[in-house]
Amino acid sequence: MLEASHHYFHQAADVIGLAPKVREILLTPNRVIKVEIVEEADDGQLMHYTGFRVQHNNARGPCKGGLRYHPTMDEDHAAALANLMTWKTAIVDVPFGGAKGGIDCDPSQMSRFELERVTRRFVEQCKEIIGPTIDIPAPDVNTNADVMAWIMDEYSRHAGFSPGVVTGKPLHLFGSDGREEATGRGVMYALEEALRDRGGEISGTTVALQGFGNVGSHAARLIAERGGKIVAVGDHVGGVSNEAGLDVTALVAWATEHRTVAGFAGGDAFEGPEIITWPADVLIPAALEDAIDENNAADVRAQIIIEAANAPTTPEANAILHDKGVLIVPDILANAGGVTVSYFEWAQNIQQFRWELDRVNTELEKYMRRAYGSVREVAREKNVDLRTAAFVLAIQRVGRAALSRRSVHETIDLS
- Site for ligand NAD, rule CB under 6 A: 139-142, 183, 210-216, 234-236, 272, 286-288, 308-310, 335, 338
Shortest reach from residue 15's CB to ligand NAD, in Å: 25
Cα(140)–Cα(213) distance, integer angstroms: 10
Residue nearest to ligand NAD (CB): 213
Shortest reach from residue 400's CB to ligand NAD, in Å: 25
Contact, 217 vs 184, CB < 8 A?
yes
Residue number, 55 or 310, with CB nearest to ligand NAD: 310
Active-site entry in 64, 88, 100, 229: 100
Shortest reach from residue 315's CB to ligand NAD, in Å: 17
Rounded (5°) CA angle 73-147-363 = 95
H/E stretch holding 371 reads helix 357-382
Helices (H) and strands (E) in the chain, counts: 13, 12
Cα(326)–Cα(303) distance, integer angstroms: 5
Residue number, 186 or 228, with CB nearest to ligand NAD: 186
The three-state secondary structure class of 21 is: helix
Residue number, 211 or 228, with CB nearest to ligand NAD: 211
Residue number, 211 or 399, with CB nearest to ligand NAD: 211
Shortest reach from residue 377's CB to ligand NAD, in Å: 24
Shortest reach from residue 392's CB to ligand NAD, in Å: 21
Contact, 230 vs 205, CB < 8 A?
no
Residue number, 13 or 218, with CB nearest to ligand NAD: 218
H/E stretch holding 285 reads strand 282-285
- Which residues pair with residue 233 across a beta bridge? 209, 240
Cα(25)–Cα(19) distance, integer angstroms: 10
Contact, 275 vs 233, CB < 8 A?
yes
- Which residues pair with residue 36 across a beta bridge? 50
Residue 134's Cβ-side half-sphere holds a number of Cα atoms within 13 Å equal to: 13
Residue number, 201 or 290, with CB nearest to ligand NAD: 290
Contact, 120 vs 78, CB < 8 A?
no
Examine the residue annotation and report whether 100 is marked as an active-site residue of this protein: yes
Shortest reach from residue 201's CB to ligand NAD, in Å: 25
What residues are labeled active site? 100
